Chain A
Amino acid sequence: MQLPPALHARLAGAPGSAEPLPVERDPAARTAPFRFAPRPVRFPREHDFFEEGDVQRHLYLQDVLTQVGGAPERPRVPEFTCQVAGCCQVFDALEDYEHHYHTLHRNVCSFCKRAFPSGHLLDTHILEWHDSLFQILAERQDMYQCLVEGCTEKFRTSRDRKEHLVMRHLYPVDFRFDKPRKSRGPVMPGAAEQVLAEAPGDDGVPSEVDAMEVCSEHVEPPPAPAGERRAYSHRIPSTICFGQGASRGFKRAKKRNKHQ
């Protein structure tokens, strides 16, 4: 069906109606046996005329409902348990398990068993938490590396670094990277992002942190409104909590206060 090229231009053109040609009817036109008369036609709901369109509509709905009624498209498998020692999480979808494993078991600190979303963060953690040389050097120079890969900034304190992350890299003020030791259930795909930006109180477990720096016991309330960006620095925890519920790799006599 070839359409005249000017038609598309007409569609894109200005609204308007055609000046009608003169209408001139001959009464002979509607004389028997001829019976044509122009008329707009109306169809009620159940009319057969609608059969085709209704069928197409229902086919579409069936497809949609199949997807809605089940979980979002994920191939289901018979239930199985995570095989990592001590983890008894159960799954029925490979995607969930993949995410779980990646989040909780892949980048695990062998010293303190904290889990991290990436090898990079794990390395940073080990350096800052389990390396005695780091602590010594940190007293004299900027050792706290920005966590964003590619950013070369270093900071004197963990808190300064956090401030940088929030200000420069737009991290939420309440972000955490660690996952608590006890797993909570099938992790949603995309939870890696959640790891970076957990809302306070979301996991319902107060941070039992025994952190590298002094860390407040409770989670801070939500950040101040946008207009007061600097105000938050008084309300954030004094350190980024990298891990939770873990034992320290080496003993400290007391909490460090110097880097507040």
Chain B
Amino acid sequence: MWSRQRGRLKPLCCGVEELRCRRREREAALRKARREQQLVSKRLLRDEALEEAEEGCVAMIFGEAEIQQFLRLAQRGTEEKEREGALVSLRRGLQRPETQQTFIRLEGSIRTLVGLLTSNQALLQLEAARCLHELSHSEQSAVVEACLPATSYLLTYLSGHSSDFISPHLTVLEALGYALSQLLQAKEAPEKIIPSVLGSTLPQHMLQLLQPGPKLNLGVAVEFAWCLHYIICSQVNNALLITQGALSTLGLLLLDLAGAVQRTEDAGLELLACPVFRCLSNLLTEAAAEAVGGQLQLRDERVVAALFILLQFLLQKQPSLLPEGLWLLNNLTANSPSFCTSLLSLDLIEPLLHLLSVSNVVSVLVLTVLCNVAEKGPAYCQRLWPGPLLSSLLDTLAFSDTEVVGQSLELLQLLFLYQPGAAQAFLQQSGLQALQRHEEVAQLQDRVHALQQTALHG
């Protein structure tokens, strides 16, 4: 379903320019919706999709008898087409909340659906996955919660097949992951749903599905990475996830992603990179992540190498995701002399500086990471000097964005403090003039004056 169709172009009934225009409109609509706290609304997701896919096709409200009939046909019909057809009809009906309610209240309905999801008939599995899809769209939490107990079983069943993941299995897995991600996005998720998810075997299954290797499927991984993100950013019990090896699994996945990015032009990889960045970054803020001597920590410097390879990839494919990658870099380097040293020894300062022209947000993050390195003392500043750093800083001082300039000032101060000759070089490169233009800016003036003093008088 997802995997097969990703990358396939829909027949172009309009020009490329029109498509780009439409995409920009959709993006704008989504941004607006998010700001209004409506992005989690499945209605938004569904309306757009429905409009395009099923114009003129009105979903019916089915009663108990009809639903039972469909389920019976699906389970015991003699012809595959007939069974499939029953599921298609059921799925259409499930677009209506009334039908959804009836469905979950009908005894054995979920059980039957689970049976079909584990059917040995590929097409039935696919249609059943679509039904699950519909249910997971429900605005009514009761409906979505009804599906939750099945998820564990399904994941167990599907994981059992991991040695021979065939296409329908992957599709069902993807549908499950998506359904779960919808569930976890619900407003009441942190109180009601996430605790029970964390108390089940689901997290272990999810982490298993995210393990790099020949069985890793991009579509499946994307859905479960987002699931993990919703769980983690809800801050319910991240320490538990860390004890289950989340940091090391996600770290290895990051390495795998960087490898994949080097090998292929697949534009879908940023869809996985984004939730992985988020999960890792948020987990790194947990006290458990800092626990000394644990194998559960993230310490491998290959993670830094991988991250830069991904940053380069994002710079070309999706620059708007650079901040998320740099956020991870910040969280990796903030309290880690080891990772800061890696940045220096792997020669990554210059590539980092290249990102300074992308956007203000990116610049602030880059400067913050550089500050993370510089604040660790003279041994670090020495390795930052000489090189392009000074001229980059003079450039950023010319920005008008207060935050960018502010962060530049912080970095300058650290350099002046720890690196002899830095202030001198700064003066020689007309640094004072660069500072002058910000003398009147409220948030900056104190720091500007302090730096002017240091530069002139040592």
B218 to chain A, nearest CB (A): 12
Q: Please give the distance in Å from A47's CB to the nearest CB on chain B.
A: 8
Contact B354 A34 (CB under 8 A): no
* One of A40, A55, A66, A67 near B27 (C-beta < 8 A): A55
B338 and A43 form a contact (CB under 8 A): no
* Given known contacts A2-B351, A34-B410, A8 and B309 CB-to-CB distance under 8 angstroms: yes
A3 touches B379 (CB 8 A): no
In the complex, whether A59 has a CB less than 8 A from a CB of chain B is yes
| Dominant SS among interface residues on chain A | loop
Closest Cβ of chain B to A5, distance in Å, is 10
B437 within 8 A of A: no
A49: interface (CB < 8 Å): yes
Determine the chain A residues whose CB is within 8 A of the CB of B413 once the complex forms. 29, 34, 36
Q: Which residues of B contact A250 (CB under 8 A)?
A: none
CA distance A7 to B82 in the complex (A): 56
Residue B106 lies at the interface, judged by CB distance under 8 Å to chain A: no
With a cutoff of 8 Å between Cβ atoms, the chain B residues found around residue A41 in the complex are 281, 285, 327, 330-331
- Check A26 for interface membership: any CB of B closer than 8 A: yes
- Decide yes or no whether B398 CB sits under 8 A from chain A: no
Interface SS majority for chain B:
helix
Residue A20 is within 8 A (CB to CB) of chain B in the complex: yes
Shortest Cβ distance from B289 into A: residue: A40
Determine the distance from Cα of A188 to Cα of B327 in the docked complex, in whole angstroms: 49
Size of A's binding interface in residues, CB under 8 A: 72
Cβ contacts under 8 Å, B383 to chain A? 21
Which residues of chain A in 61-82 are interfacial with respect to chain B, using CB atoms and an 8 Å cutoff? 61-62, 64-70, 72-73, 75
Interface check A149, CB cutoff 8 A:
no
Q: Would you give the shortest CB distance from A54 to chain B, in whole angstroms?
A: 6
Q: Is A85 an interface residue (CB 8 A)?
A: no
CA separation between A42 and B30, bound complex, in Å?
24
The interface bits of chain A over 165-195 (1 if a CB of B lies within 8 angstroms of the residue's CB, else 0) are 0000000000000000000111010000000
Residue of A nearest to B341 (CB): A18
Partner among B79, B130, B226 whose Cβ is within 8 Å of the Cβ of A184 = B79
Q: Please report the C-alpha to C-alpha distance between residue A183 and residue B272 in the assembled complex, in whole angstroms.
A: 45
Q: How many A-B residue pairs have CB under 8 A?
A: 250
- What residue of chain A has the Cβ atom nearest to residue B327's Cβ? A41
Partner of A73, one of B10, B309, B311, B327: B10
- Measured CB to CB, the closest approach of chain B to A92, in angstroms, equals 11
A38 in the interface, Cβ–Cβ < 8 Å? Answer: yes
Contact B414–A29 (Cβ < 8 Å): yes
Which of B50-58, B160-168, B200-208 faces chain A? B50-58
Tell whether, in the assembled complex, residue B330 and residue A11 are in contact, meaning their CB atoms are under 8 Å apart. Answer: no
Query: Is residue A152 contacting chain B, with contact meaning CB distance below 8 A?
Result: no
Docked pose: A75 CA to B13 CA in angstroms = 11
Known contacts A7-B305, A203-B79; is A21 also within 8 Å of B31 by CB? no
Whether the Cβ atoms of B78 and A201 lie closer than 8 Å is yes
Per-position 1/0 for B80-98, Cβ under 8 A of A: 1110010000000000000
Q: Is A20 a contact partner of B318 (Cβ separation < 8 A)?
A: no
Knowing A3-B309, A75-B11, the reply to whether A51 touches B34 (Cβ < 8 A) is yes
Chain B residues with CB below 8 A from A202, complex form:
78-80
As a 0/1 sequence over residues 28 to 59 of chain A, the CB contacts with chain B under 8 angstroms (1 = contact) are: 11001111111111111110011111111111
Contact of A62 among B26, B34, B234 (CB under 8 A): B26
Q: Which residues of A are found within 8 Å of B282, using beta-carbon distances?
A: 42-43
Interface contact A52-B255, CB-CB below 8 Å: no
Residues of chain B lying within 8 A (CB to CB) of residue A55 = 27, 30-31, 34, 39
Contact between A204 and B78, CB atoms less than 8 A apart: yes
Partner pick for A1 among B5, B258, B311, B380, CB 8 A cutoff = B311
Task: Identify the closest chain A residue to B271 (Cβ).
Answer: A60
- Tell me the smallest distance from the CB of A180 to a CB of chain B, in Å: 11
Contact of B371 among A6, A25, A36, A42 (CB under 8 A): A36
Residues of A within 8 A of B (CB): 1-4, 6-8, 10-13, 15-26, 28-29, 32-46, 49-62, 64-70, 72-73, 75, 184-186, 188, 201-204
Q: Which 6 A-B pairs have the closest CB atoms?
A: A20-B337, A33-B446, A24-B377, A204-B78, A70-B53, A65-B49
Known: A25-B377, A59-B30, A67-B1. 20 other contacts (CB 8 A): A1-B312, A4-B348, A7-B346, A11-B258, A16-B300, A17-B339, A18-B345, A29-B418, A41-B331, A44-B235, A45-B233, A52-B323, A52-B324, A53-B274, A56-B318, A57-B275, A62-B45, A65-B45, A66-B48, A202-B79
Which residues of B pack against A, CB within 8 Å?
1-2, 5-6, 8, 10-11, 23, 26-27, 30-31, 34-35, 37, 39, 44-46, 48-50, 52-54, 78-82, 85, 123, 130, 133, 178, 226, 230, 233-235, 255, 258-259, 262, 270-271, 274-275, 278, 281-282, 284-285, 299-302, 305-306, 308-309, 311-312, 315, 318, 320-321, 323-324, 327, 330-331, 333-342, 344-348, 350-351, 354-355, 371-372, 375-380, 383, 407, 409-411, 413-414, 417-418, 446-447, 450
